[in-house]
Structure 1
Amino acid sequence: MSYSNDKGRPGTSPGETGRPRRRLKTKPLLILLLILLAGNLLWFIAWLIPNDPGGNEEVASVSGEEITRQEWMAAMEEQHGRETLLDLVNLKVMETAAKEYGIKVNDKEVDLELAMMRSARDGSEQTLYSSDVERMRERVTAQLILEKVLTKDVVIEESAIESFYQENQSLYDIPDSYKTRMIVVESADEAQAVIAELENGSSFEALARERSVDTSTGSLGGDIGYVVPGQSTIDEAIANAVTAVEKDGWSEPLALADARTAVISVTEKAEGQSFTYEDVEGHISRELALEQLPQSITPEAFWREFETEWFYGE
């Protein structure tokens, strides 16, 4: 899988000497995973399917005028149906490709990719962690199948793999990371009021949506993804505070660099891992092979091969 990590892999600047470290491509991973995020709607939509074939059950009303389940479902299909179906089709296409080409993906490979995603420090992976772990593992598995199919005929010399590992070994010493949420307010007094509400049993996620002035994270219930202590792409106060926050607890008010104040919560700690050369050899070989491909390729490239048809007919 492809990652960009400027802190871990700086290029050679005018004052430096030596060979620049390689930057791995992020586009194939991000395109696929961002598309697949729509799959989170699948379970919800399935749950909404009514027992009444007519779908005339009232789900809301305004001034006595009802909104039916059928209307609701039609609106959801219009907004999210294409992306959700694309998710399902592409997962099935990759499963079929794995069988066709005899490709296997093991748990250790998935663990490595997830660990590297958690430790990414360019901020590009944060929103990928709003879904549950099993769904994320399914998506990573599908992406690995795609990459293995694309690179199955590309030969990479062992010396090139070893050289890359030696130059970038620190990438595979994954530090502890903390899945974090935050509520940003304008003052320390407002932050204390937020803490008081949390102490009285209010939901952190609900308060983030209601009170946070950082609308991009507030809409996600305050989710900012995994934070690594000392991470430079997030406010220093937050990066330095995550280790002291108990799981499902919250911090004291944190003064941010922009003069606002934050309260953070840690929902999960992912233990750091160190991967040996044997663990990452296949990963590096695949990354180097992907660099040789002329362009990014998505699962749709295999639709014709596996006689794929779908509702939208494109």
Structure 2
Amino acid sequence: MKSNLDRNRNANEPSKRRLKTKPLVLLIVVLAIGNLLWFINWVVPKKAESPFQVGEEVASVAGKPITREQWMTAMEKTVGREVLLGLVNDQVMETAAKEYNIDISDEDIDRELALLSSLDGKAYTGLDAEQMRRKVRSELILNRVLTKDIVIDDKAVKAYYEKNEAQFEIPTTYRTSLLVASTESDAKQALKELKGGSSFDVLAKERSIDSSSASIGGDLGYISSRTEEVDPAILEKAKKSKEKDVSSVFKLSDDTYAVIQVSDVLKGRSFKLKEVQEHIRRELALQQLSQSVSPETFWQEFDAHWFYGK
């Protein structure tokens, strides 16, 4: 028979165990609350701070302000649709590349740029280097998607190459921007401003009297010995210019004066058949299509939607 002392000890043990578990339970509760607060803070995003102030003034006329909102709305109406269309189409083509396991390398883009610049130097005027490469990439993806099921035999590819071999002898091409002034003094003043840090693109839009290039910042695209519509003096100056530098003032054949800037040089090269056979195969396959196809054709397939509706 247990003693009273034993009974008392046994009676107190549950109470002691309960007392010992209280700190542990409290700790678990505190940790749970902390985790909950962290989770809420992680899931619920903080309100993004706008880099612009509401009603911020960007210009004024006769004391009447033009706000940033007005400016952005006007830009959205004038160029917003075209810019967004380009972004959507680029993304559609990237999705198509994944869907159809199409790989476009930097070498593919370089080759396409070299071939294109010698045939149509103005193909990508108005685009900077990054935009130009992105557009070439999208076009390559589109063309590969369209021609993936068309078979062109090797004999046809070889025959095309032999018939058009001169097309694959690529001269050096120069991505050139032009600013034309009616007098030498005006051209020198423009050069002084360019040397002082003014943007060639902006100054050409403001000052150049060459209407065909002024609206796109003086961009002539890629010019070479094959470019017929450009004053020979411009090409000669481009050959002597260093990339990114602004040239000295020089006279054109119509007695106007100009300065140029060469932003990129694609060295001339000769392409062997094996280097361009896939390019030729794709071009021959595209000729078999009954109509031209744009990236918008694939919007439905890849569930593309945008702000402007259908």
TM-score in terms of structure 2 length: 0.75
Offset at 1:96? 1.5
State the Cα distance separating 1:199 from its structure 2 match: 5.8
Greater alpha carbon shift after TM alignment, 300-309 vs 129-138 = 129-138
User: How far apart, in 2, do the equivalents of 1:175 and 1:245 lie?
Assistant: 17
| Per-residue deviation, 1:294 | 0.4
3-state SS of the aligned residue for 1:282? helix
Which residue number in structure 2 is paired with residue 131 of structure 1? Answer: 127
Question: d(CA) in 2 for partners of 1:252 and 1:229?
Answer: 21
1:250 equivalent in structure 2 = 247
Larger helix percent: 2
Relative to 1, partners in 2 of residues 1:280 and 1:231: Cα closer, same or farther, differing over 3 Å? same
Q: Please, which runs of 5 or more residues in structure 2 have no aligned partner?
A: 1-47
Structure 1 residue identity aligned to 2:306: W
Distance in 1 (CA, whole Å) between partners of 2:74 and 2:104 is: 37
* Number of the residue aligned with 2:236: 240
**Letter of the structure 1 residue corresponding to residue 102 of structure 2:** I
Amino acid at match of 2:80: G
Work out which of the residue numbers 172, 178, 187 in structure 1 matches 2:174: 178
Deviation of residue 281 (structure 1)? 0.7
Residue 150 in structure 1 maps to residue 120 in structure 2: no
**Following TM superposition, by how much is the alpha carbon of 1:230 offset from its aligned partner in structure 2, in angstroms?**
5.8
State whether structure 2 residue 82 is matched by structure 1 residue 83: yes
Distance 2:172 2:129 in 1: 17
Native 8 Å contact 1:181 1:266 kept in 2: yes
Following superposition, the deviation at residue 155 of structure 1 comes to 0.8
Aligned pair in 2 of structure 1 residues 149, 70: CA closer, same or farther (>3 Å)? same
Select the structure of larger CA radius of gyration.
2
Q: Which moved more, 1:281-290 or 1:83-92?
A: 83-92
Q: Secondary structure at the match of 1:306?
A: coil
Counterpart Cα distance in 1 of 2:158 and 2:257: 46
Letter in 2 for 1:57: E
* Partner in structure 1 of residue 96 of structure 2: 97
Match of 2:263 in 1: 267
RMSD: 2.6
1:213 aligns with 2:212: no
CA contact 1:253–1:263 (8 Å) conserved in 2: yes
- Is the CA contact (8 Å cut-off) linking 2:125 and 2:216 kept in structure 1? no
Does the 8 Å CA contact 1:230/1:240 hold for their aligned counterparts? no
SS of residue in 1 equivalent to 2:222: strand
The change in CA–CA distance for 1:253 and 1:233 in structure 2 (over 3 A counts) is: same
Corresponding letter in the other structure for 1:96:
T
TM-score normalised according to structure 1 size = 0.74
Residue 226 (str. 1) matches residue 222 (str. 2): yes
Question: Residue 254 of structure 1 aligns to which amino acid in structure 2?
Answer: K
Pairs within 5 Å for 1:181-192: 181-188=177-184, 190-192=186-188
Cα deviation 1:221-249 (Å, max 9, x = unaligned) = 32212211463221122223321234313
Tell me whether 1:162 sits opposite 2:162 in the alignment. no
Q: Residue type matched to 1:253 in 2?
A: F
TM-fit CA distance, 1:192: 4.7
CA deviations on 1:249-288 (whole Å, 9 max, x unpaired) are: 31442232x3433333333322223322111111000000
1:3 paired residue number: none
Q: Once structures 1 and 2 are overlaid, which stretch shifts more, 130-139 or 184-193? A: 184-193
> 1:263, 1:52 → 2: CA distance?
38
Change (3 A) 1:306 1:132: same
Q: What is the count of residue pairs matched by the alignment?
A: 262
Does 2:294 align with 1:298?
A: yes
Q: Which runs of 5+ in 1 are unaligned?
A: 1-48
Task: Out of 100-109 and 195-204, give the one that drifted further.
Answer: 195-204
2:61 pairs with 1:62: yes
